[in-house]
Structure 1
């Protein structure tokens, strides 16, 4: 009954859609239509906005596109979606919220568009999107609710690799080597050895997994948190010390952009983060480290290598009253031609279409200081897809658990609590939140 009712509602919502009304004279199909879009602050849409006039000229659709800081965007969008409001027509389906937003029925099933030639030509090719990143945009039945514009493959970037070379070392390949390199280069020429941002529930988890720890017992089936284990406490203390001992002043308050700029300005050396934040070190006009930056895979721990691999997609809220026009925008924004244009003109790295990733042009754009960074990017995407270790991050409850992780790392780094106590508190608070949400946990 639940499945039937959901299909009926979904079919009713989309069954009223008419075919695009292109007139015989070749006029703009949606002349006078305005759609509202929203995303967190990101370079892809900063680049894409410069081409909005082309989209409007082609379709007649005007786009109001608003970007906010990552936590602000997610909070506002979560509220808007939960009320089935119609204020937004196109949104970013954020990786850590994808399970919640899709599972709650707050997003539109895009299969209705892609499987109907009235809306989508075969050449648009939904199967061209990389399977690993795209899996976060689907429900358990395999239905699609978003198409990915970013695959956030985590790599290592060393802004001042010349300092590492002078110390007789190379890019660290293990956690132990990372500490060894940090010890050798920290504060040489006033450059901090390491930098990061304050989103610990993204940055720390690869170090946790590499040390043998985990966030949940067996996601998505068993969501009992495992934050109070000895492995988690040891890893949290190790990571907090990495930040405080080797990071620049104020690192615990750094945003994504501030961390990137600490590298671009030559104030900090190494960072492990999604490739989007790494390419500007070699490409951005303001970067002073273009000639010294080098890239590599994230270091591996004693239990393996688990670089973060996330994805974000464009989708249509269930409450939108302009779904047709919204789909026209998504089709254009994520077409092979548009993505290839942004890659060519701006060097954007985190794309999800395999035809672009495997193109000679993509490899050329991401050959930085004679390094094949495109190869690193694809290697991380494939690594994440093989074992599914990123499943922890797309469960609907992860945002709440992630918040507890952020606060625990902060308490450890600032010496407010010892690591075992901080992680024990995070575990208890996470379990309390999960039980309130009706999630069964082991006791």
Structure 2
């Protein structure tokens, strides 16, 4: 027995980063993904399967063992990323999403769940009636358990009487487990809705799965073997997705820092002012109000506020190009004429801004240079006079030649 335990003991794969969770076992083929997050499972009951103790034999969707080190690394990176995203989502407060966001999240979760449910299955062997019953009760199991503590299963009944043939049923425990699985999928995508939001997500989820079951049923009657893939619907987009989309344009580190700061300011303003948590909740009216906030209440200089507004517009443009969002709320905003006038006034330069002297000072300098205490003119008076009268720069005066001057007679006096 001791020899078996020693042979079964996992050993970390050399050359892999710390925390990846990639192991081998003597006497067994392939690779293993091993993680122990029991402490987080105790902190968040139900959020982690198997009480946070993961010991998975890495397999492909068809059940075959993964023998390639690169493929095993990719699997562990994906699983680790999902668990880390779940942990971060759990440690953030519950988010209140808009109706459009809840619908997008429900569609995305339904697509992921459908793929997992029918992966590797033969459509002709898939029990669509049981699947339909399970989907019907998702989101209602805990309510049913509270109303009737003795209830143990749900039964599919066609009409008032039980249909003849094998009884279609699923236990309440299995429904609760599927509900937890869907909630974990939601956390893996970075979403942490409140109780009302979760109910709305379950409603959209059931509708989406019912549509797919009808599609699979028609394919099953036609004798198709492979289950139909779910149609990809628009997914809820968070701020990190928008920043990643913009970074794909290839930006300098300083520009990335400025864009990140501009998006963080917009995100904080939306959260505090309107409890909007996702970019899709921003409409043109809110965009116009945020523009006014930037120029009048943010405490930023007008040039800095203009730059931040351009950064935000560019981020939403990139999101549109990559089909993350349908529209840019900052596009074609009505012009703020008062802000434009104030900006032009700020840009207007006076004599002091240009380093110029006023007329009185120029006349005083001219009189002093024309005649000093000994009655002689300053040797550089001619150069000063030409600059004062024509606006030439000193380099232009230095480049003048004798042929550049012409002689004029005015009131019987010669002038050059």
Verify same fold: TM over 0.5: no
Which structure's residues are more often helix, by fraction? 2
Normalised-by-shorter TM-score class: under 0.3
Task: Using structure 1 for the length normalisation, give the TM-score.
Answer: 0.21
Task: Using structure 2 for the length normalisation, give the TM-score.
Answer: 0.22
Which structure exhibits the higher relative contact order, with contacts defined as CA atoms closer than 8 Å and separated by 6 or more residues?
1
Which structure's residues are more often strand, by fraction? 1
